[in-house]
Amino acid sequence: MNRQKAARLSGSILKYAAIILLFAFLLFPVYWMLATSLKMNTESSRMVPTLFPQAVSWEGYKTLFDDGKFLVYYWNNVVVSALAAVIICVISVMAGYALSRFHFRWNVLLLATFSFSQMMPVISRLISLYTILRRLGLTDTHLGLVLAVCATQVPFCVSLMASFFDGIPKDLEEAAWVDGCGRTRTLVRIILPLIVPGLLAVSVYSFLMTWDDYLHAITLVRSPSLWTLSQGLKLTYLGEVSDWQLINAASTLGAVPMIFVFFFFQKYMVRGLVAGAVKG
């Protein structure tokens, strides 16, 4: 009995040790970013780093706000990500519904093509993407960027949406059908309200992914007034500049809203991701 107890005790010690280690790995870098953003550069450039900022300095954040450029990048990122979320919602509701309800033979082929195109490395598309957008007159516009980014999210979001539609019994539509409701009206009036969680999952996913985009923005958007956050951060603060306080302050500001968005929509997000991955 005692030995079992000891084993269980050492097991749970091991367990908590593992938790502490893994979570330190996951979370300490975030703290370090925060702490550095509050340290003067002279404090950061010490051979022995300080765990807590000795003299808290808001200089980095102040520079960012006074500068104005950072806010422009930020706002652009919000616009682009929100636009992408809206567009992807519309597209994936339509396509997801079609794939879930109508089973034609070529649907399978379509799904396969979709999931194959999800694998495409972005760089391989950049040169031609650029030419195509130029033909459409969409280079150096947010819309062009959003469409290009959305295209990469379509495969995942459509199959995610389809799995949400699968969860809704078909009797509802049949009933609406009998009542003489048209196809479009059935979709908009009856089904749409039922998949709000799916819509939230898809839009939050799309928002996060677009917020993260770097390669598309860097090739398709030129004017600094249209730069997104990742692009602006990399180009403005990582060039030949080594102001770590500023870089970390900018990073913190770029990361924090995403953390909030995630916590706020966590329930839908997790459900959506799990549904997408586990069923898809």
Partner 1 sequence: MKKLLAVILTLALLLSASSVLAEQEPATVRFYNYALSETAKAAWWQETIDSFTAANPGMNIECVTVDYNSMIATFTNDLASGLSVDMIYGEVSWIPALVEGGFIQEPKDVLDPEFYAGYYEYVLDQMQYDGGVYAVPHYYTNSVIFVNKDLVEAAGLDLAAFPETLDGLKSWIEQLAAFYQGGDKVSTIFGLTTAEVPATGSNINAIFNAFGGQLLTDEGKLADLKAEPNATAMAEMLDFYKYLIGNGYTQENLKLKDYRAAFGAGNVCMYVDSSWGYAQIGEVDPAAKDFTVTAPLPTQMGTNGKGESLVESHCFLIGADLSEAQKQVVNLFIQHCTTSEVMEGYLNNIGLAFIAHKNMEDCKISPILEGAARGVSQVKRQTQIGAMVSVQKQLATMVLEYTMNGVSVEEAVNNYITQAEYYIDQ
Partner 2 sequence: MRNAPSLRRAGSPRRRKDLLFCLVLLLPAILLCTAFILIPIVDSVAMSFTGYKLANLTKGTPGVWNDFGNYTRLWRAGKLQSAVWLTLGFVSITVALTFLLSMSLALILNTDPKGARMLRSVMMIPWVIPTVIAGLLWSWIYANPYGLLRYLVSVFTSGRVTDFGILNGKSTAIWGVIIAALWKQIPLMTLLLLAGMQNVPDDILEAAQIDGAGYFTRLIHILIPYMRSVIAVTVSMCIIENFKQYPLFATLTNGGPMGATTTLAVLSYDEAFVNYNYGSGAAVTTVWLAIMAVVVLLFNLAFRRRQS
Q: Which residues bind partner 1 (CB under 8 A)?
A: 41-42, 45-48, 67, 69, 130, 134, 137, 139-140, 218-219, 222-224, 235-236, 239-244
Quick one: which of 64, 70, 139, 155 contacts partner 2 (CB under 8 A)?
Answer: 155
Contact between residue 217 and residue 228 where contact means Cβ atoms under 8 Å apart: yes
**CA dist list (Å): 41 to 37, 233, 246, 254:** 9, 18, 9, 20
Q: In angstroms, rounded to a whole number, what is the distance separating the alpha carbons of residues 62 and 136?
A: 40
- Binds 161, which of partner 1, partner 2, none (CB < 5 to 8 A, cut-off by type)? none
- Binds 139, which of partner 2, partner 1, none (CB < 5 to 8 A, cut-off by type)? partner 1
Q: Does 44 bind partner 2 (CB under 8 A)?
A: yes
Q: In angstroms, rounded to a whole number, what is the distance separating the alpha carbons of residues 200 and 169?
A: 20
In b/e form, how buried is each residue of 61-77, taking b as 16+ CB within 10 angstroms?
Answer: beebeeeeebebbbebb
Q: What residues from 56 to 85 belong to the interface with partner 2 (CB under 8 A)? A: none
Quick one: which of 3, 5, 102, 179 contacts partner 2 (CB under 8 A)?
Answer: 102
Q: Does 7 bind partner 2 (CB under 8 A)?
A: no
Q: Does 159 bind partner 2 (CB under 8 A)?
A: no
Residue 57: CA count within 13 A, CB half-sphere: 18
Q: In angstroms, rounded to a whole number, what is the distance separating the alpha carbons of residues 19 and 25?
A: 10
Q: Which of 107, 98, 104, 203 minimizes the C-alpha distance to 150?
A: 203
Measured in degrees and rounded to the nearest 5, phi and psi for residue 138 equal -115, 10
Q: Does 129 bind partner 2 (CB under 8 A)?
A: yes
Q: Does 36 bind partner 2 (CB under 8 A)?
A: yes
Q: Smallest distance from the beta carbon of 208 to partner 1, in angstroms?
A: 25
Helices marked H in 167-265: 171-178, 183-185, 196-212, 215-220, 229-232, 244-264
Q: What residues from 177 to 236 belong to the interface with partner 2 (CB under 8 A)? A: 183-184, 208, 211-212, 214-215, 219, 229-230, 233-234
Residue closer to partner 2 (CB basis): 2 or 124: 124
Q: Does 273 bind partner 2 (CB under 8 A)?
A: yes
Span interacting with partner 2, options 13-21, 57-65, 67-75, 190-198, rule CB under 8 A = 13-21
